[in-house]
A and B are shown apart, each in its own frame.
Chain A
Amino acid sequence: MSILTPTGAGAAEHLGRGPLTADELAAVIARDIPEGAYVNLGIGRPTRIADHLPEDCGVVLHTENGMLHMGPAAQGAQVDPDLTNAGKVPVTELPGAAYFHQADSFAMMRGGHLDVCVLGAFQVSTTGDLANWHTGRSDDIPAVGGAMDLAVGAKAVYVMMSLFTKEGEAKLVPSCTYPLTGVRCVGRVYTDHAAFDITPEGARIRETWGSTQADLIARLAAAAAPRG
Chain B
Amino acid sequence: MSRARVLETCDEAVAGIQHGSTVLVGGFGFAGMPFDLIDALIRQGAADLTVVSNNAGNGDVGLAALLKAGRVRKVVCSFPRQADSHVFDELYRAGKIELELVPQGNLAERLRAAGAGIGAFYCPTGVGTPLAEGKETRTIDGRDHVLEYPIRGDYALICAHRADPMGNLVYRKTARNFGPVMATAAGTTIVQVGEVVALGEISPEAVVTPSIHVDRIVAVEVRRHTVQGAR
A75-99 contact mask (Cβ, 8 Å, vs B): 1 or 0: 0000111111001111001000001
Q: How far is the CA of A110 from the CA of B104 in the complex (A)?
A: 12
Q: Is A181's CB within 8 Å of the partner chain B?
A: yes
Q: Is B11's CB within 8 Å of the partner chain A?
A: no
Consensus secondary structure, chain A interface: loop
B82 in complex: contacting residue of A44, A89, A143, A152, CB < 8 Å = A143
Provide the residues of chain B in CB contact with A80, threshold 8 Å.
173
Q: Is B46's CB within 8 Å of the partner chain A?
A: no
Provide the residues of chain A in CB contact with B175, threshold 8 Å.
81-83
Determine if A148 and B108 form an interchain contact, defined as CB atoms under 8 angstroms apart. no
Within 8 A of B (CB), among A163-186: 179-183
Determine if B30 and A81 form an interchain contact, defined as CB atoms under 8 angstroms apart. yes
Q: How many residues of B contact A (CB 8 A)?
A: 55
Q: Is A67's CB within 8 Å of the partner chain B?
A: yes
A12 to chain B, nearest CB (A): 32
Determine if B177 and A66 form an interchain contact, defined as CB atoms under 8 angstroms apart. yes
Q: Is A43's CB within 8 Å of the partner chain B?
A: yes
Provide the residues of chain A in CB contact with B174, threshold 8 Å.
63, 65-67, 82-84, 99
Q: How many residues of A contact B (CB 8 A)?
A: 47
Q: Is A19's CB within 8 Å of the partner chain B?
A: no
Instruction: Jot down 26 A-B pairs with beta carbons below 8 A, ordered by A.
Output: A63-B174, A65-B28, A79-B226, A82-B31, A83-B175, A84-B226, A87-B230, A99-B176, A101-B176, A101-B181, A102-B105, A102-B181, A103-B181, A106-B105, A134-B130, A141-B88, A142-B80, A143-B79, A144-B101, A146-B104, A146-B105, A149-B105, A153-B125, A179-B129, A179-B130, A182-B128
- Residues on A facing B (Cβ under 8 Å): 43-44, 63-67, 79-84, 87-90, 93, 99-103, 105-107, 109-110, 129, 134, 139, 141-149, 152-153, 179-183
With A144-B79, A152-B126 known, 11 other A-B pairs at CB within 8 A are: A65-B177, A82-B175, A83-B173, A84-B174, A84-B230, A101-B177, A102-B104, A110-B125, A148-B126, A149-B103, A183-B129
